[in-house]
Amino acid sequence: MSFQQGLSGLNGAAKNLDVIGNNIANVSTAGFKQARTEFADVYANSLYGSGGAQVGIGTQVVNVSQSFTQGNITSTNNPLDVAVNGDGFFRVSDGGAIAYTRNGQFHLDKDGYLVTNTGGNITGYTTLTLDANNNVTGAADLGNIQIDLNDLEPQATSKISMVLSLDASATAPTTTPFDPNVAATYNFTTSTTIYDSLGASHTMQMYYVRDSTNPLQWKAYAYLDGTTDQIDLDGAGTNDYHTLTFTSSGQLASGATISGVSHPLAPAANLSLNYDFTGVTQFAGDSGLISVSQDGYARGRVVGVSIDNTGVIFGRYTNGLTRPLQQLVLASFRNPNALVSLGNNQWASNSETGTEVLNVPGKGVAGVVQSGATEDANVDLTAELVNLIVAQRLYQANAQTIRAQDQILQTLVNLR
């Protein structure tokens, strides 16, 4: 008689109950991946092979595998919560030791580093290449992501772009010469805010005057902070205005740009302005400003951060600007099932997982990320409760085989 089968069944059932219990316990853990107990039967080794009547000696747990299927995405109110939708793991550095997680419940520490709840640093690309419109065109330098909490230094305005429509039916002013303080001497005026090198704002007022001798020409004048500080638009110091010439179809024929207009603004550095009037037209109807933009800004402080679906982290500043700062990366593996669980919802790679493949979210095999959301555990609670009942019954059944063996042994002992 042998109790081996029953004992191995009890051990396996107990391990299965542990795995199911762990799944149930982590049903509310963000990014948790459920596990499954996998068994194999056991046979005694035979020196000369086995006969057809060989009986197994029990079962054994050969693997506790994890299922890396996608969990549901739940929205939160924290912009630093990030969920992965698709393939990939966040890359975590803990004192240089690299681990991987799907739990995107991040926050900033006192030094501005993006960290997990256990203090591990989230790694990503710390240097971004931007185009003229501050769109990300490249990323480099893998390291710990750190949000620069220092002030954004001011930038002086260097380019002003205006699109407006001037009234082709307007008559040239009869009151001359032009005087910004006399409305009868000009036809239309616009204003925009520009900045000097110290970040101070200035109001630039522009006045447009229909030429009295050539109906296809307009004169543009510019003043800063009132009507006494005129900008020398022609650079000659004589007329101080810029001429816009239109075709008979109302399109701008000449005067689309002005380059290198210098203007003193002590104690700040002299302004060096480039004007772009491309898109200005002359059609019948009231004159109107369509759009105006300039590239200067005041000093700004970080008031918040956000993350887009490609993992780019943006800083929002008090001056109204939003700037891309750094970018998350996602690590993928050929065999993620071989990842070693470290606890704290983290895994480590080994020789069986293959080399990590790094991509920014949305590129290659990497999924996208969603800010202000977390990935739920992929545990089906109903299924796990049913599995728990089955595992309990299996434990009881194996206990019964031990009892049966005991009764048989007792019968043998009682023989006389």
Read off the tokens for 232.
Answer: 């020398």
Residue type, 143: G
Q: What is the spatial distance between Cα 331 and Cα 351, in angstroms, rounded to a whole number?
A: 15
Q: Which residues of 198-235 are buried (b: 16+ CB within 10 A; e: fewer)?
A: ebeebebbbbbbbeeeebebbbbbbbbeeeeeebbbee
Q: What is the spatial distance between Cα 379 and Cα 186, in angstroms, rounded to a whole number?
A: 73
What's the pLDDT score for residue 44? 62
What's the pLDDT score for residue 382? 93
Q: What is the spatial distance between Cα 36 and Cα 45, in angstroms, rounded to a whole number?
A: 28
pLDDT per position as a tens digit, 266-304: 999 999 999 999 999 999 999 999 999 999 999 999 998
Q: Are strands 312-317 and 357-359 parallel, antiparallel or unpaired?
A: unpaired
Q: What is the spatial distance between Cα 371 and Cα 81, in angstroms, rounded to a whole number?
A: 6
Q: Per the confidence metrics, is the pTM higher than 0.85? A: no
What's the pLDDT score for residue 171? 95
Q: What are residue 114's DSSP bridge partners?
A: 108
CA angle, 251 as apex, 248 and 253 as ends, to 5°? Answer: 85
pLDDT per position as a tens digit, 284-294: 999 999 999 99
Q: Please state the CATH superfamily assignment of the domain spanning residues 159-294 in this structure.
A: Flagellar hook protein FlgE (2.60.98.20)
What's the pLDDT score for residue 416? 64
What's the pLDDT score for residue 45? 58
Read off the tokens for 97.
Answer: 């030791």
- Structural domain spans, the chain: 4-69+378-413, 73-150+308-375, 159-294
User: Nearest Cα to 328, choosing from 191, 94, 147, 135?
Assistant: 147
| Other beta carbons less than 10 A from residue 75's beta carbon | 12
What's the pLDDT score for residue 46? 55
User: Nearest Cα to 277, choosing from 306, 299, 256?
Assistant: 256
Q: What is the spatial distance between Cα 119 and Cα 108, in angstroms, rounded to a whole number?
A: 10
pLDDT per position as a tens digit, 319-338: 999 999 999 999 999 999 99
- Is residue 251 within 8 Å of residue 123, measured between CB atoms? no
Grouping H, G, I as helix, E, B as strand and the rest as coil, residue 303 is strand
What's the pLDDT score for residue 397? 87
What's the pLDDT score for residue 1? 44
Read off the tokens for 341.
Answer: 């669980």
Q: What are residue 282's DSSP bridge partners?
A: 166
Kindly report the average pLDDT of the chain as a whole number.
91
| Other beta carbons less than 10 A from residue 408's beta carbon | 11
- Is residue 77 within 8 Å of residue 356, measured between CB atoms? no
Read off the tokens for 192.
Answer: 């925009």
Task: For the chain, give the number of residues.
Answer: 416
Q: What is the spatial distance between Cα 128 and Cα 136, in angstroms, rounded to a whole number?
A: 6
- My answer on whether omega of the bond before 267 falls inside 30° of 0, hence cis, is yes
Measured in degrees and rounded to the nearest 5, phi and psi for residue 53 equal -100, 15
- My answer on whether omega of the bond before 177 falls inside 30° of 0, hence cis, is yes
Residue type, 240: D
The enclosing H or E element of 409 equals helix 381-413
What's the pLDDT score for residue 47? 52
Read off the tokens for 380.
Answer: 């089906």
The enclosing H or E element of 390 equals helix 381-413
CA angle, 19 as apex, 13 and 21 as ends, to 5°? Answer: 100
Low-confidence ranges of the chain (pLDDT < 70): 1-2, 43-55, 236-239, 416
Angle between helices 381-413 and 4-25 (to 10 degrees): 160
